[in-house]
Chain A
């Protein structure tokens, strides 16, 4: 095998996997699988090994295998994270617990129902809102946005909607209606976008009794986020903006405008003129 070039020593690890079949089980139970683990093997690889060699009935959700799609969020050793992004031997010596993300309903085994999260996400209108809708949809120019303006929201735009923050959040452990870290971070991402003009519309959702103020900065979402999005930071910004808007202290800003054709952007200083044409 080609793998023989790398470290081939294997270790037996007990995978304590939560199982639940809605047709036969009343409550989830834990089933233990002892499987050989190679260095570099991810938890997702381990689950594949179980499905291929031990128990084909095991169900979980995954797609890209490389921390991009956000499908394989799981509770690994009590911590919500991506199964594809986590190497078994980095977090386990002999035993590893694999459970579905808490604070969601379990559809089967390790598959949580993320619909509640997506519904909350769409409720805050996570897209550019402008009054000049026609200008938004006609490709007759591009919106001017400086690198600094981009950086004001870029971090929150890296979210892959895996639901790990929702599973880690203590408020969501009891409050089913709380929007949660992911939708609130998405709201902040669009509020801070200079092309957007929908902050006041979103405030109607983020400023309600199950909005941003149910966050008490336990910080678990930012600890759990596998992409470093830092939802807790986004929510604190959101609260500040809500308070400023309530006290009418926020500066009124117009959304950025389109540039029509070349020469309308701000040229950087000290750029020499193009050399004369030689042909």
Chain B
């Protein structure tokens, strides 16, 4: 039944990603909406606009949330594909471990970056 648990959350994560990544794509790439979260001239992904978003708590929290669910959804998906290759149980265990470590590592990196830039952006806004 453990797989049922993993798979249920894989599906749920997919639905969350659908909304969050859709929002992400809208903000980053669609011209009409871009100006909402990008007050500075130039592209939505310019350094100024990026810092503006990083100064908002909403974006920091959403980044971390999206990072977490996307890592889970993606790495579980990769694990699914690999597990369909009739591997030895020891190899399967190793894959699970490696993906877990990689996922947690990237989650740590991304979370640190989101919080650090949030602090930088707020300091920059004051200064």
**Is the interface on chain A under 10, 10 to 19, 20 to 34, or 35 or more residues?**
20 to 34
Q: Give the docked Cα–Cα distance between A176 and B84 (Å).
A: 8
Q: Which of B3, B5, B84 contacts A175 (CB 8 A)?
A: B84
Q: Are B83 and A246 in contact (CB under 8 A)?
A: no
Q: Which of A171, A208, A245, A246 contacts B84 (CB 8 A)?
A: A171
Interface size on B, residues (CB 8 A): 13
Q: Are A213 and B84 in contact (CB under 8 A)?
A: no
Q: Which of A171, A177, A209 contacts B3 (CB 8 A)?
A: A209
- How would you classify the secondary structure of chain A's contact residues: helix, strand, loop or mixed? loop
For B11, the chain A residues whose CB sits under 8 A away are: 243
Q: Which of A175, A176, A178, A207 contacts B4 (CB 8 A)?
A: A207
Could you tell me which residues of chain B, from 61 to 89, have a CB within 8 Å of some CB in chain A?
80, 83-86
Q: Are B84 and A207 in contact (CB under 8 A)?
A: no
Could you tell me which residues of chain A, from 174 to 219, have a CB within 8 Å of some CB in chain B?
174-178, 203-204, 207-211, 213-214
A242 on the B face (CB < 8 A): yes
A268 on the B face (CB < 8 A): no
For B85, the chain A residues whose CB sits under 8 A away are: 174-175
Q: A27 to nearest B CB, angstroms?
A: 20
Q: B6 to nearest A CB, angstroms?
A: 8
Q: B100 to nearest A CB, angstroms?
A: 15
Q: Which of A176, A211, A242 contacts B86 (CB 8 A)?
A: A176
Q: Are A207 and B1 in contact (CB under 8 A)?
A: yes
Q: Which residue of B lies closest to A247 (CB)?
A: B8
B59 on the A face (CB < 8 A): no
Interface residues of A (CB under 8 A from B): 171, 174-178, 203-204, 207-211, 213-214, 239, 242-243, 245-247
Interface residues of B (CB under 8 A from A): 1-5, 7-8, 11, 80, 83-86
Q: List 9 A-B contacts (CB under 8 A).
A: A174-B86, A175-B83, A175-B86, A207-B3, A208-B1, A208-B2, A209-B83, A211-B3, A214-B84
